[in-house]
């Protein structure tokens, strides 16, 4: 299964989600991430990198913008917010039926959005990491039961 995580700039949430899921090394699961407004070839945010290193998750990342090729590649597109989901569905009609917010896909939360740590301190990034880790654990359980 090909999973595509999408956020805004591809520097914080989607690369952390990608790293967490890749670290699980699930058979048959390929993972990529991108941003709606990302610049190609940029770096993961310093605080995201620091949190991943602290959690012993080795990860190389270059930012990339959402593109048609990766939308086609993906079996499942998981966005960080409802706004991201709506932008994907508006721009890529072929993504209907395989695009969800991460939260709506794994469990029926009241909020559909993963908190954005951009511009925050290391504690803010740690909170987002912990939120993503819990969601990715739930995703792993759901994928294992498919």
Rounded Cα–Cα distance for residues 37 and 53 (Å) = 26
Torsion of CA 93, 103, 23, 34, to 10 degrees: 30
Length of the chain: 146
User: Is 12 considered catalytic here?
Assistant: no
Task: Give yes or no for a contact between 80 and 114, defined as CB atoms under 8 angstroms apart.
Answer: yes
**Active-site option among 7, 12, 49, 70:** 7
Please list the residues that pair with 34 across neighbouring strands: 6
Structure tokens at 15: 């690369």
User: Is 70 considered catalytic here?
Assistant: no
- Residue holding tokens 């967490």? 20
- Alpha-carbon distance values, 97 to 2, 14, 57, 75, 104 (Å): 14, 20, 31, 10, 13
User: Is 27 considered catalytic here?
Assistant: no
Structure tokens at 40: 């190609």
Q: Could you list the active site residues? A: 7, 13, 116
């Amino acid at each position: 299964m090909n999973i595509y995580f999408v956020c805004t700039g591809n520097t914080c949430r989607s690369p952390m989600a990608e790293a967490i899921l890749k670290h699980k090394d699930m058979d048959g699961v390929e993972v990529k991430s991108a941003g709606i407004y990302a610049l190609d070839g940029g770096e993961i945010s310093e605080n995201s990198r620091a949190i991943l290193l602290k959690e012993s998750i080795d990860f190389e990342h270059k930012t990339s913008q959402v593109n048609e090729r990766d939308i086609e590649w993906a079996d499942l597109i998981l966005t960080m917010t409802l706004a991201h989901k709506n932008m994907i569905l508006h721009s890529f009609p072929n993504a209907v039926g395989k695009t969800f917010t991460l939260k709506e896909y794994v469990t029926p939360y009241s909020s559909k959005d993963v908190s954005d740590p951009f511009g925050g301190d290391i504690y803010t990034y740690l909170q987002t990491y912990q939120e993503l880790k819990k969601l990715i654990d739930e995703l792993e359980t759901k994928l294992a039961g498919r």
